[in-house]
Chains A and B, each alone.
Chain A
């Protein structure tokens, strides 16, 4: 009897253990990891003193005494370096219709800025056509990346509807003016807003891209106390914001806004130009020889009518602007002292 009880208890203990033990859990969610790039601590961008700001920002370096011929860049120059590398690396916009945008149908980047870059490349490399295109490396960058990309030497040149101004000169160098744009506003057709003042008075939501001179302008609360600023990474995101009802208007250069109006017939560009936005090609501050070389190229493009032809092709032939809306280019100012 005792033995029976003992055996029974042993079996029971086993059964109980089997009934209660065990655990089944699903694995935890898999977590990934990534090596974070070293972040350069951002310091406040330098700004010009009043005395510096009083001088015209469009002053640049005089062209070289003798403009070298294509394929014959002077030894030791930045241009020679580019020629040797066989590639001119340019920071451009990928979605600014008319100035620099990817044509989804042909898969090429095209526009006013791109045409100017092609002329510069033509002046460095002694090639043309298809071969010339192979020599240009386009890097699509956002507005906010334009100065950092030049400072980090990720690009040789920035052609990205970039306004020449004093604060930017403290970080990079500019060519002479290749197009004279101005800031305007894009509103919905028939909205009743005709100027930036109307929008300000109505407390409207106005969109502009982060890192642009346009957003700096409308963030001036003394000038525009009523505006609600909507900031986006790129100006094209502003058109999306308007189409989705997130913004009432977009402010930007008239040239860019003309491209938007072409993409969305329910919008229109209105009002007078309220700031001057002279476009220049941006270069690293130390590449003074390249700036002088590019100024030499632009000098020729102005003289032989190439710049006018480029404006005709991208701004008039596309129906974006009337010929009389294209302001004449200012005389280049070469009074900036060499560093």
Chain B
């Protein structure tokens, strides 16, 4: 082998074609110089490619975390609005002088919803900005209509009921607008996560390239120059190997942790939030079936729709994530009380139906649903935020380590081939 390589005479001199170098035609020093250049290039490529890949993943994880936070925020606004409307409907159903504690509860929800809406608008993407603009307008309209309903009710004017109905319609429109924002935001979480997964290929490719170049180079040296091991090249190969295993592994773990945040607590929080909105919606519809005294069929349809959403969402949260399982029983208990309310009202016993709905079982059962889901939601949401925060902890350091590794590979390559090259001087 060695003889064959050594005896091949140069067919064309470097002078004849100064800018083209042929590996086959080159003599050993030229080959060593070429190998040095290639190794340095591969090392620098690893530095740049690795930096870029890790940075992209870091950004993608940050985007996913931001979208997750926005999703939780917007869902919270929707819960507050639906809850406020359910309180307003129930207060109207109770009639008489508005109970101060109900009024205070309504005001709290409206304050929270308003503050949440303004935060969500601040964090909105370009796509969601017009939607959230619409939501702000609908929110203002809703609050105005409820005030008009109250003003009329206080004077005993039945037109208050018409305002209450209209407020309810606007609240539904507002909830639908927020739902669109939620859908977009959910998509943004998913897209960012896909980007985070895809982003690692450049690190893998450049590290593989470096490792391959160093292994081939070492093999070539040991074969052609009869050296068992070239220490700098072997160290460089080891570094490339470590980047591939530890670096790529760490990078993958970061995406994995973010993925876990999405798959587990965020998905659970999403389902529980949807269950909460649907449950409060059902409670509102229940009040409306009674406000429409003996003629609640249309709102009973809405109750059933909302109840089925709450049911499915709670069941999935429990089955898939083991979250909110206790709320399922609470909701079943509430649904049973609701059935009793409808039975009373449909049977002509409106007064007892109202008593039952407002002061007895459903109120307590419903409060249980509201409380347990609130706790589950808060827990899962903060867990998700936490995991996202920790997901890219290691990436900052990894980025620097990979850049240094690339540079070290370049330097070690130059040193390793340099040792052989010196033998020709």
Contact = CB atoms under 8 A, between A and B. Distances in A.
Contact of B316 (A30, A105, A263): A30
A126 to B, nearest CB: 19
Nearest to B64: A24
B158 A102 contact: yes
B372 interface: no
Contact of A104 (B158, B263, B301, B308): B158
Interface string A174-206: 000000000000000000000000000000000
Contacts, number: 186
Given A102-B158, A140-B294, A22 B197 contact: yes
A103 B252 contact: no
A37 B301 contact: yes
A94 B312 contact: no
Contacts of A102: 95, 158, 161, 293
Contacts of B295: 139-141, 145
A58 interface: no
A311 to B, nearest CB: 20
A19 B244 CA distance: 10
Interface string B253-268: 0011011111100110
A148 B92 CA distance: 28
Contacts of B267: 26-27
A260 B252 CA distance: 70
Nearest to B307: A32
Interface string A19-42: 111111111011111111100000
Given A26-B262, A139-B294, A97 B244 contact: no
Nearest to A96: B158
Interface in B99-119: none
A104 B193 contact: no
B305 A95 contact: no
A27 B270 contact: yes
B402 to A, nearest CB: 13
Nearest to A12: B244
Interface string B175-208: 0000100110010011001100110110110001
Contacts of B316: 27, 30
B210 to A, nearest CB: 11
Contacts of B248: 15-16, 18-19
A234 interface: yes
A33 B308 contact: yes
A109 B208 CA distance: 82
Contacts of A137: 294, 348, 350
B412 to A, nearest CB: 17
Interface in B132-172: 148, 152-153, 155-163, 165-166
Candidate in A19, A23, A29, A35 with the most chain B CB atoms within 10 angstroms:
A19
B305 to A, nearest CB: 4
A54 interface: no
B306 A104 contact: no
B200 A263 contact: no
B79 interface: no
Contact of A140 (B156, B292, B312): B292
B193 A24 contact: yes
A240 interface: yes
A221 interface: no
Contacts of B309: 30-32
B251 interface: yes
A34 B158 contact: no
22 contacts: A12-B245, A15-B252, A16-B204, A19-B255, A24-B193, A24-B258, A25-B262, A26-B71, A29-B182, A33-B305, A34-B308, A37-B301, A95-B162, A96-B158, A103-B156, A104-B161, A105-B95, A106-B96, A137-B294, A237-B165, A240-B162, A263-B155
- Considering the complex of A and B, which 10 residue pairs feature the smallest CB-CB distances, nearest first? A137-B348, A139-B294, A24-B259, A32-B309, A107-B95, A95-B158, A24-B262, A101-B158, A32-B308, A140-B293
Given A27-B270, A234-B162, 20 more contacts: A16-B248, A18-B248, A19-B204, A19-B255, A23-B193, A24-B190, A25-B190, A27-B267, A29-B274, A32-B309, A95-B161, A95-B162, A97-B158, A102-B95, A102-B293, A104-B158, A105-B156, A107-B354, A139-B294, A236-B158
